[in-house]
Amino acid sequence: QKEVEQNSGPLSVPEGAIASLNCTYSDRGSQSFFWYRQYSGKSPELIMSIYSNGDKEDGRFTAQLNKASQYVSLLIRDSQPSDSATYLCAVNKGGFQKLVFGTGTRLLVSP
Amino acid sequence: SQTIHQWPATLVQPVGSPLSLECTVEGTSNPNLYWYRQAAGRGLQLLFYSVGIGQISSEVPQNLSASRPQDRQFILSSKKLLLSDSGFYLCAGLESNYGYTFGSGTRLTVV
């Protein structure tokens, strides 16, 4: 079992729709969860962090965490073509705050 | 907030040649620093991390080594490159509970 699993996609949504990206993790001791966006050929950039069960909203983005189910999700409302990118889920591991990344979900938003 | 500087942006090296990639950090002191590699179509693989000067932990046995000669400097090296060393190399710094900040990356092609 991979430590962090994501569907590779692509996930295709029309402009203005809600995109839902999902991630599961294997280490029940994980406490910190992150979503990164990576455009093709570029380095990842942090878009959301979440540490407690429930929802966390920031603009068009909502992160959801369910530690009992070991599940993290990212919702993007009013999706724009500029949101087309690969979204990486990351989970902390170990005392030195190492992050383990999923392989990413590619999101395509069509105009 | 911290800024991670990496260079060069792209590099083409022959098999068997040496490698030195440098990462410097601005805006913080004594950061945790990380080297990741992203192979084409693959996820981010943690190679090395460092919690301070001279302190290096290796995650994956391989043809590479890392050093941290100064607080804000992290170097990735190889004595003899292999074809399998090709990839996108990313340096990252930990910003408290805000996750990682990544440098712009070096795309290495070994020919």
Q: A98 to chain B: which residues are within 8 Å by CB?
A: 34, 46, 49, 59
- Alpha carbons B48 and B27: distance in angstroms, whole number: 22
Closest CA to B64 of B56, B54, B52: B56
Q: Does A34 contact B at CB distance below 8 Å? A: yes
CA distance B91 to B97: 18
Residues of chain B contacting A99 with CB distance shorter than 8 Å: 34, 46, 99-100
pLDDT tens-digit map of B48-95: 999 999 999 998 867 899 999 999 999 999 999 999 999 999 999 987
For B4-53, what is each residue's pLDDT tens digit? 999 999 999 999 999 999 999 998 888 899 999 998 777 899 999 999 99
Question: Beta strands A54-58 and A4-5: pairing type?
Answer: unpaired
